[in-house]
Structure 1
Amino acid sequence: MSTDSLHRKSSTQTFLPPVYVITLTEDMDRRNHVEDLRKNAGIPMKIFPAITPRTRDAYPPIYDARYRQWHYGYDLTPGEVGCFLSHRALWELCAQSQDPAWCILEDDVELDPEFSAKLQLALAHVTDWDVLRLMAERYDRKGLPYKKLDGADTLMHYVRPAMGTAAYLIRPAAAKRLLAFSTRMTEPVDKVMDQYWLHGLRVLVLEPFVVQIRQDLPSAISCRGWDAMRNGKRPLWRQLQRDLRNGRDALAGLLFSLRYFLGMFSHY
């Protein structure tokens, strides 16, 4: 394990992963909340200042504006671009580490009192997953049991994407693969992570969830009022385009999952 990691040894000789919190450093409400997290979680955490492009002109060269306009009719928001770049920057650091996994949090989460114990449990089964979400933001979707862990905890596979990057564990090899998979920015970062049928990673969810989103901290990436297309004013052909795209992804995910759960592939 790397000498500069934030591992903390327990009485059972297990280790916690390095924990990084992506935060908007200029937002005092979020900074104060992160400081409370650091005090109350009982585990070391490192702050990672969020990357925040302010205008469309500040988008990076990897952003594919032509693709977005053709397939969606609107750009990613500055918040979505910043979120993508922030997570990708941490993937780059993680990929260079010798740690079993890293934990990446966003700054609007609330942690379960058993958060530390659940991280240790997840690491005890680190060979069973590549990316492990600690919550799913689509509460209306249900997963398939992948593996039963100790007690009531289960690793779940969501055929329909669980969505969200508020809290997850990621292994260095998975971070390296996601880096290679995301050299062109066309989608929000959680959709990139969810395209398991393309990058081939085991993206699972730990249930019951050990993280929740604070509702009193407004999302930094959901403000879409600057584009009328994002206020429900899509022409019919754009709605059909969206439905076809979603249907294609749903079918690809279902076929991939069926092959895996039927044992046709030896690796996810």
Structure 2
Amino acid sequence: MQVFVISLAQREDRRRHIRQHLAERGVAFDFADAVDGRALADADRARLYDPALARQRGERRTLTPGELGCSLSHLALYRRMLEQDLPAICVLEDDAELSPDFAEVLAALAPALKADATPRVVLLNRRAKRYSAWGAAALAAGRRRCRAVEAQGTDGYVLNRAAAQSLLQTLSPVWTVADCWDWLLARHTLRIDCVVPYVVSCRDDLVSDIDADRRDRGKLAPGPLARLSDFLYSRFVYRLLIRPLYRIGKQR
């Protein structure tokens, strides 16, 4: 399975890190130049980003320039995948930290993913937080492929051609962040699995280029009824019914 690393061309420090790290893990890869959302002209931003569609689909914030660039970068890689007729690819970001058995797990995922006509994404990262143990498939090194229940992050995942087509159709033009896995899960847009335990984490000393933008945009505080609803669901419905019924576990 071909591995791509999304990275800004001008960030040679980050490229140097990931180049050395993947060499240590014995993983061959190609860079996919990221889109710098901060460098986009206003006309390009208006053409590529649809805030009206975002509001229609329940997004309560506008994307920051960094988030827009991130989403455009992942969509561009999906198009490249289809143009090159690749059956499945692995996508990493340039602050990824891989487990020693990463290549072994990737090799175990590849055959089924390439042969699957169902749109499927498999998240490799630690932010694939909750999963269902029903129907888990054994991989390498004691790891399993499980169905994701709650997930974020695009720092490491694999997908097949059908998933790339589905994501391009659903997320173009850009209206939300690249890691909208929970939104996709809720609407059964495609099958999203995860590797348990995860095989991709992030280096804490490499600060994301979009984190500062996300901190600055603020959050909308939920109202009292929303807080009460969340409390009742998490304390009673989820703990007593949902979690045991679906055998939900949590990444450690």
Q: What TM-score does the superposition give when structure 2 sets the normalisation length?
A: 0.76
- 1:172–1:69 distance in 2 versus 1, CA, 3 Å: closer
Task: Please give the secondary structure, in 1, of the residue aligned with 2:127.
Answer: coil
- 1:150–1:165 distance in 2 versus 1, CA, 3 Å: closer
Partner of 1:206: 195
Structure 2: distance between partners of 1:236 and 1:34:
39
Q: CA offsets per residue over residues 123-163 of structure 1, 9 Å max, x none?
A: 13325671111124154x3443432314522111122x211
Q: Matches of residues 47-58 of structure 1 in structure 2 within 5 Å?
A: 47-54=31-38, 57=42, 58=44
Partner of 1:114: 101
Q: Which moved more, 1:71-80 or 1:27-36?
A: 71-80
Aligned residue-pair number: 224
Structure 2: distance between partners of 1:131 and 1:120:
15
- 1:150–1:137 distance in 2 versus 1, CA, 3 Å: closer
CA RMSD across the alignment: 3.1
**% of aligned pairs identical?**
29
- Contact 1:100 1:172 survives alignment (8 Å): yes
Equivalent AA in structure 1 for residue 4 of structure 2: Y
Structure 2: distance between partners of 1:219 and 1:112:
20
Structure 1: distance between partners of 2:7 and 2:49:
22
- 1:165–1:146 distance in 2 versus 1, CA, 3 Å: farther
Structure 1: distance between partners of 2:66 and 2:165:
24
Partner of 1:134: 124
Q: What TM-score does the superposition give when structure 1 sets the normalisation length?
A: 0.72
Partner of 1:157: 147
Q: Does 1:84 align with 2:84?
A: no
- Alpha-carbon offset, residue 109 of structure 1: 0.5
Structure 1: distance between partners of 2:206 and 2:111:
33
Structure 2: distance between partners of 1:75 and 1:240:
22
- Contact 1:144 1:157 survives alignment (8 Å): yes
Task: Please give the secondary structure, in 2, of the residue aligned with 1:218.
Answer: coil
Structure 2: distance between partners of 1:136 and 1:93:
26
Structure 2: distance between partners of 1:205 and 1:173:
17
Task: Please give the secondary structure, in 1, of the residue aligned with 2:211.
Answer: coil
- 1:194–1:134 distance in 2 versus 1, CA, 3 Å: farther
- 1:55–1:68 distance in 2 versus 1, CA, 3 Å: farther
- Contact 2:136 2:147 survives alignment (8 Å): no
- Alpha-carbon offset, residue 114 of structure 1: 1.1
- 1:180–1:32 distance in 2 versus 1, CA, 3 Å: same
* Greater percentage in strand: 2
Q: Does 1:34 align with 2:21?
A: no
Equivalent AA in structure 2 for residue 103 of structure 1: C
Structure 2: distance between partners of 1:238 and 1:175:
39
Partner of 2:51: 65
Gapped runs of 5+ residues in structure 1? Answer: 1-16, 252-260, 262-268
- 1:73–1:205 distance in 2 versus 1, CA, 3 Å: closer
Task: Please give the secondary structure, in 2, of the residue aligned with 1:200.
Answer: coil
- Alpha-carbon offset, residue 188 of structure 1: 0.7
- Alpha-carbon offset, residue 239 of structure 1: 9.6
Deviant stretches of 4+, over 6 Å = none
Gapped runs of 5+ residues in structure 2? Answer: 238-245, 247-252
- Alpha-carbon offset, residue 169 of structure 1: 0.9
Q: CA offsets per residue over residues 239-260 of structure 1, 9 Å max, x none?
A: 959x89xx9xxx9xxxxxxxxx
- 1:66–1:55 distance in 2 versus 1, CA, 3 Å: farther
Task: Please give the secondary structure, in 2, of the residue aligned with 1:125.
Answer: helix
Structure 2: distance between partners of 1:164 and 1:198:
18
